[in-house]
């Protein structure tokens, strides 16, 4: 009789322990990292993995626009490329081990490292802090980039290192530097290949004086370079460019794959672009959104002039010339109309741009003719909560950062409502946003040489994630 009564108790206890174990190791949707992406249309020479990833349901933002879809790291979505020789099997094994380590970190909610970690990312600003941290560890341990040696400065191996195009030159220079841990000693050990082409310098030197906007000279320069390296080396042809990337902050850069000579040639190329406009062909699953940073001379980062939250009397601030439809609407509605909304086209000489950012709770970051704006990074550095006024902008580092936790995104059609929307943000919520802006600031700081988790490492990490989504096989 006693044994009969104890059997249900044992069964209930077993079920409870099973439920508890499942709860501890369950995935949380809001912690997903966009590491491996769904691929809708594939080139003829590529095919999906035999194991299909589950389709994530479409999500929508509060403003009704479609949100970027994320997938859990339970099943890899990858590209298979045929006819790869044995040298690349070692590379693929290396990447497979990295994927395994990242999934393990997600399951165990911890990281594995063979060195002491100076910074451990945690908190809601990350889609999945465990996945991001382990991915960054694996990148530092494994990732190698080969830069083709062909070409001479200033069109190749040299880019601007100041102005709004400056990040383009710093990425190129960092990866070619002998101090970089990512520099491959030989192309056979490289996971990815960089085309050391500066679109900004091509425009500056070949279109001077500017008498035409035709992209012919740009396209000839880029396609001729690709033709040289594809005939001299095997790497481009066996992946059709899928394990190659080009970084540029110039607004003409996206055109290299939109103009007729480059449509087929560069359809697999990883484009690292400031102008990350999804309505103009930017593909978040393949391309990388490059943060636009206005680098002034030798000053890599602006001065930290941000005030304490209690010393920020200005509700919202913007200063910038008329540049595109969105700014036209913004200036027409808010310029000189409201004391709490400090909106200028030309800032009066007695006012200081950085100081006004430091005294504002919210900084308006509207798109111009291109979607990116240096105000995004400027506002973060000033401790000012970014208000992103844009319609088709894929924000930088969205694969690991959850922008909804430290910024406000407003579509252009709601520009007349900006003040109301910002007034509706409670003091408690504002303080949370402010603290999270300070938390992510390290990811937008420019250092030379680069440091772990700074903006250059974040850019390289975004490229690393795309490379993890390419699997080379026989």
Backbone angles phi, psi at 351, to 5 degrees: -105, 145
Q: Is residue 458 assigned to a domain? A: no
Specify the pLDDT at position 51.
30
Backbone angles phi, psi at 78, to 5 degrees: -145, 165
């040299």: which residue's tokens?
158
Q: Is residue 453 assigned to a domain? A: no
Report the alpha-carbon distance of residue 210 to residue 217 in Å, rounded: 12
Pick the closest to residue 273 from 260, 259, 287 (CA basis).
287
pLDDT digit string (tens) for 198-225?
999 999 999 999 999 999 999 999 999 9
Do 247 and 389 belong together in one domain?
Answer: no
Alpha carbon dihedral 356, 426, 396, 138, in 10-degree steps, equals: 120
pLDDT digit string (tens) for 437-460?
999 999 999 999 999 999 999 999
Query: What percent of the chain clears pLDDT 70, i.e. is strictly above it?
Result: 81
User: Confidence band (pLDDT; 50, 70, 90) for 125?
Assistant: very high
Do 269 and 318 belong together in one domain?
Answer: no
Do 292 and 152 belong together in one domain?
Answer: yes
Q: Is residue 459 assigned to a domain? A: no
pLDDT digit string (tens) for 12-36?
555 555 444 433 333 333 334 455 4
Do 418 and 436 belong together in one domain?
Answer: yes
Report the alpha-carbon distance of residue 45 to residue 64 in Å, rounded: 37
Listed residues 141, 176, 201: the one ending a domain: 141
Do 224 and 92 belong together in one domain?
Answer: no
Specify the pLDDT at position 328.
97
Q: Is residue 18 assigned to a domain? A: no
pLDDT digit string (tens) for 39-87?
323 334 444 332 333 233 333 343 433 333 333 333 333 444 444 466 7
Specify the pLDDT at position 298.
78
How high is the mean pLDDT of the chain?
85
Q: Is residue 257 assigned to a domain? A: yes
**In 246-291, which residue ranges form alpha helices assigned H by DSSP?**
260-263
Do 222 and 327 belong together in one domain?
Answer: no
For the chain, the domain total comes to: 3
Report the alpha-carbon distance of residue 290 to residue 459 in Å, rounded: 7
Do 431 and 365 belong together in one domain?
Answer: yes
Pick the closest to residue 226 from 240, 216, 213, 214 (CA basis).
240
**Cross-strand bridge partners of residue 26:** none
DSSP-based three-state secondary structure for 109: coil
Specify the pLDDT at position 170.
96
Specify the pLDDT at position 6.
59
Residue 146 structure tokens: 């080969």
User: Confidence band (pLDDT; 50, 70, 90) for 304?
Assistant: confident
User: Confidence band (pLDDT; 50, 70, 90) for 141?
Assistant: very high
Do 105 and 215 belong together in one domain?
Answer: no
Do 178 and 293 belong together in one domain?
Answer: yes
Listed residues 85, 119, 141: the one ending a domain: 141
For residue 277, give the DSSP letter: B
Pick the closest to residue 375 from 356, 399, 391 (CA basis).
356
Q: Is residue 467 assigned to a domain? A: no
Specify the pLDDT at position 473.
63
pLDDT digit string (tens) for 321-371?
999 999 999 999 999 999 999 999 999 999 999 999 999 999 999 999 999
User: Confidence band (pLDDT; 50, 70, 90) for 471?
Assistant: confident
Pick the closest to residue 180 from 134, 152, 145, 151 (CA basis).
145
User: Confidence band (pLDDT; 50, 70, 90) for 433?
Assistant: very high
Specify the pLDDT at position 291.
98
Q: Is residue 343 assigned to a domain? A: yes
Can you give the CATH number for the domain in which 338 is found? 3.40.50.2000
Q: Is residue 457 assigned to a domain? A: no
pLDDT digit string (tens) for 245-258?
999 999 999 999 99
pLDDT average, residue stretch 182-205: 97
Query: What percent of the chain clears pLDDT 90, i.e. is strictly above it?
Result: 75
Do 92 and 197 belong together in one domain?
Answer: no
Altogether, the residues listed in the chain come to a count of 474
pLDDT average, residue stretch 288-299: 92
Do 132 and 245 belong together in one domain?
Answer: no
Do 156 and 277 belong together in one domain?
Answer: yes
Please state, as a whole number, how many other Cβ atoms lie within 10 Å of the Cβ of residue 1: 5
Q: For residue 109, what are the domain limits?
A: 24-141
């Amino acid at each position: 009789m006693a044994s009969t009564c104890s059997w249900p108790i044992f069964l209930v206890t077993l079920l409870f322990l099973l439920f508890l174990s499942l709860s501890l190791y369950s995935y949380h949707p809001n912690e997903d990292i966009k590491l491996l992406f769904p691929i809708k249309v594939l080139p003829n020479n590529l095919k999906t993995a035999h194991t299909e990833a589950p389709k994530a349901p479409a999500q929508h933002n509060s403003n009704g626009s479609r949100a970027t879809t994320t997938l859990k790291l339970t099943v890899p979505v990858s590209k298979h490329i045929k006819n790869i020789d044995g040298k690349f099997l070692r590379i693929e094994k290396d990447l497979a081990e990295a994927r395994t380590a990242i999934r393990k970190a997600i399951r165990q909610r911890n990281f594995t490292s063979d060195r002491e970690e100076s910074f451990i990312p945690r908190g809601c600003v990350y889609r999945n802090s465990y996945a991001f941290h382990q991915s960054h560890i694996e990148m530092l341990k494994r990732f190698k980039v080969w830069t083709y040696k062909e070409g001479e400065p200033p069109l190749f191996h040299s880019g601007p290192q100041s102005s709004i195009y400056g990040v383009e030159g710093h990425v190129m220079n960092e990866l070619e530097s002998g101090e970089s841990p990512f520099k491959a000693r030989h192309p056979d050990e490289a996971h990815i290949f960089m085309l050391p082409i500066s679109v900004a310098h091509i425009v500056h030197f070949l279109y001077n004086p500017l008498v035409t906007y035709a992209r012919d000279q740009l396209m000839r320069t880029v396609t001729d370079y690709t033709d040289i390296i594809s005939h001299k080396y095997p790497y481009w042809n066996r992946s059709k460019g899928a394990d190659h990337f080009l970084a540029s902050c110039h607004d003409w850069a996206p055109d290299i794959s939109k103009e007729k000579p480059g449509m087929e040639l560069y359809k697999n190329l990883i484009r690292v672009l400031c102008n990350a406009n999804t309505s103009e062909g930017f593909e978040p699953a393949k391309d990388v959104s490059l943060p636009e940073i206005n680098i002034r001379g030798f000053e890599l980062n602006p001065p930290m002039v941000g005030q304490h939250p209690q010393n920020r009397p200005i509700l919202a601030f913007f200063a910038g010339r008329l540049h595109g439809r969105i700014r036209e609407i913004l200036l027409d509605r808010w310029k000189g109309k409201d004391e709490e909304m400090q909106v200028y086209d030309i800032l009066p000489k007695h006012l200081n741009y950085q100081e006004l950012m430091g005294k504002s709770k919210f900084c308006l970051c509207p798109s111009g003719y291109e979607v990116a704006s240096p105000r995004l990074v400027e506002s973060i550095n000033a401790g000012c909560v970014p208000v992103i006024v844009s319609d088709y902008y894929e924000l930088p580092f969205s694969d690991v950062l959850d922008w909804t936790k430290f910024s406000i995104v407003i579509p252009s059609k709601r520009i007349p409502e900006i003040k109301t929307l910002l007034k509706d943000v409670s003091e408690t919520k504002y303080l949370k946003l402010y603290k999270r802006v300070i938390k992510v600031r390290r990811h937008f700081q420019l250092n030379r040489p680069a440091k772990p988790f700074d903006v250059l490492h974040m850019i390289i990490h975004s490229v690393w994630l795309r490379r993890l989504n390419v699997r080379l096989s026989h």
